[in-house]
Amino acid sequence: VQLHPSSDDVRIQIVEESMTVLRHNDLGGYTVPAHGLYPFQWNWDSAIVASGWAVFDEARAWQEIESLFSGQWEDGMVPSIVFHKPSTTYFPGPEIWGTKEKPSKSTGITQPPVAAMSVRFLYEHADDPLLAMSEAGKLFPKLLAWHRWFYKARDPFNTGVVAILHPWESGMDNSPAWDEPMRFPVDNLQPYVRCDLNHVHPEMRPTKETYDHYLTLLYRFKNANFYDPDKLYHISPFRVTDLCVNCILFRANRDLRWLAIKLGRQEVVAEIDAWLDKGFQGFESLWDEEAGIYKCRDQITGKLCPAAISAGFLPLFAGVVSEKRAARLVRTLEQWLEQVKYGVPSMDPADPRFEPLRYWRGPVWIIINWMISNGLKHYGYDALANRIKDHSIALTSESGLFEYFNPVTGEGEGGHDFSWTAAMSLAWMD
């Protein structure tokens, strides 16, 4: 079959394949990102996947978010992974995390808070407004509790931007932005066996040295009274102001505010407005004028993380950028795109650390493309926004519904039949 992004037949085929992938990855009320490689419910994956389900099964879409919040902690945190059923194909699983419940029901860290954005999306696109009203009404206090947790546990000094304490919390696990903050010495670890390398080639995944750092953090957090949030912020050797989490949190706060008004919860609007005002100021300290992009900041050293990464464009998605800076970001993005066939690479392709195959150190991720494209539209850069969407359609239709893609060759990499790539095909690229 000659695949071409503009052909209707191809689009119909992708939509059908995407629905098949979501059904296939459905374990009964929640969707795994990919069988084998990721056999549990992941936080931001599920929130994104809900928008895909919404296109053809509204009730199932709401159920996805509800099942994610079934893992919410009493203090409001929503963990990065919920372990509904055991599985032996992922490491580190529940036996390693060992949270207070026995058996462990989740990890002890979080992930980018996409859920409020998804609840608004589901509400706005609802064919069943009564269901939407009742589901959004049930979820609203849970979303609010999670956002409150972020500010209390991860911004105790009220800077307006929150910290991540583990690269897994950013969703961009082995991003080059973490190279400097991850230079802390690793602890003496028990020997361990990774499962990811049974599913994908080692060239695509983080290195052993990176995993040793991930596990050092995990065990230190577990030893701190089982992931006690008041302790973690102070003991973690890795503490970073991450752009992915902060831009998503900012945008999600705007959607939470929108929901508060729709649901008659005006009394919380002032609290959300305060987060937005303070957050807006917080982004100022992350702009690198010379590089023409936003950067993450290492809170331990106080320095900006030198690597320019795709999350550096996400302030467009948050909507915290001046017109002048938006123009500068667009110039930077165009320079990146000149160097690869398909955008948006996860790091600056001119950086010597750029690796087109390795996870968050080069490859294109469709969910990030959606966010960047959405932000560009908001600032009036429609042609560039559409170019990124066309690249995304070309990648999925020519290579398949992979976890991520090589920006130089367009080949699909990592896991295949991947849920959030399928969901994006349904909710964004249709």
Catalytic residue, from 45, 355, 403, 413: name it.
Answer: 403
Parallel, antiparallel or unpaired: strands 297-298 and 240-241: antiparallel
Of 401, 430, 397, which is closest to residue 418 (Cα–Cα)?
A: 401
**135: number of Cβ within 10 Å:** 22
- Known catalytic membership, residue 284: no
**Using the rule CB under 6 A, which residue among 171, 229, 282, 356 binds ligand 9WN?**
171
Residues touching ligand 9WN: how many (CB under 6 A)?
9
User: Which of 107, 299 has the CB closer to ligand 9WN?
Assistant: 107
Of 22, 98, 97, 20, which is closest to residue 63 (Cα–Cα)?
A: 22
Q: Determine the Cα–Cα distance for residues 354 and 308; give it in Å rounded to an integer.
A: 10
Site for ligand 9WN in 227-266 (CB under 6 A): none
Q: Is 45 in the site for ligand 9WN (CB under 6 A)?
A: yes
Residue 226: left (phi > 0), alpha (psi -120 to 50), or beta? left
Residues whose CB is less than 8 angstroms from the CB of residue 383 and which lie 6 or more positions away in sequence, other chains included:
none
**Using the rule CB under 6 A, which residue among 19, 21, 22, 42 binds ligand 9WN?**
42
Q: Closest approach of Cβ 181 to ligand 9WN, in Å?
A: 17
Q: Determine the Cα–Cα distance for residues 357 and 62; give it in Å rounded to an integer.
A: 34
**Using the rule CB under 6 A, which residue among 173, 255, 413, 417 binds ligand 9WN?**
173
Give the x/- contact pattern for ligand 9WN in 63-82, rule: CB under 6 A: -----------------x--
Q: Closest approach of Cβ 109 to ligand 9WN, in Å?
A: 9
User: Which of 37, 388 has the CB closer to ligand 9WN?
Assistant: 37
Residues whose CB is less than 8 angstroms from the CB of residue 247 and which lie 6 or more positions away in sequence, other chains included:
311, 314, 315, 317, 318, 320, 371
User: Which of 30, 38 has the CB closer to ligand 9WN?
Assistant: 38
Give the x/- contact pattern for ligand 9WN in 80-99, rule: CB under 6 A: x-------------------
CA distances from 161 to 56, 299, 360 (A): 36, 11, 22
User: Could you tell me the maximum CA-CA distance found in the chain, to the nearest angstrom?
Assistant: 58
Q: Are the beta carbons of 405 and 395 closer than 8 angstroms?
A: yes
Residue 353: left (phi > 0), alpha (psi -120 to 50), or beta? alpha
Q: Are the beta carbons of 244 and 211 closer than 8 angstroms?
A: no
Q: Closest approach of Cβ 122 to ligand 9WN, in Å?
A: 20
Catalytic residue, from 58, 135, 169, 173: name it.
Answer: 173
Q: Is 118 in the site for ligand 9WN (CB under 6 A)?
A: no
Stretch that binds ligand 9WN, among 21-29, 37-45, 138-146, 187-195 (CB under 6 A): 37-45
Q: Is 33 in the site for ligand 9WN (CB under 6 A)?
A: yes
- Known catalytic membership, residue 323: no
Q: Is 38 in the site for ligand 9WN (CB under 6 A)?
A: yes
User: Which of 33, 362 has the CB closer to ligand 9WN?
Assistant: 33
User: Which of 42, 402 has the CB closer to ligand 9WN?
Assistant: 42
Of 1, 9, 21, which is closest to residue 366 (Cα–Cα)?
A: 21
Q: Closest approach of Cβ 328 to ligand 9WN, in Å?
A: 28
Q: Are the beta carbons of 160 and 285 closer than 8 angstroms?
A: no
Stretch that binds ligand 9WN, among 128-136, 165-173, 299-307, 346-354 (CB under 6 A): 165-173
Q: Closest approach of Cβ 187 to ligand 9WN, in Å?
A: 20
Strand partners, 41: 82
Tokens of 423: 């969901």
Q: Determine the Cα–Cα distance for residues 303 and 357; give it in Å rounded to an integer.
A: 28
User: Which of 168, 336 has the CB closer to ligand 9WN?
Assistant: 168
Stretch that binds ligand 9WN, among 39-47, 118-126, 127-135, 145-153 (CB under 6 A): 39-47
Q: Closest approach of Cβ 45 to ligand 9WN, in Å?
A: 5
Amino acid at the residue 281:
Q
**2: number of Cβ within 10 Å:** 6
CA distances from 172 to 26, 147, 280 (A): 24, 20, 23
Looking at the annotation, which residues are catalytic?
Answer: 173, 403
Residues that bind ligand 9WN (CB under 6 A): 33, 38, 42, 44-45, 80, 168, 171, 173
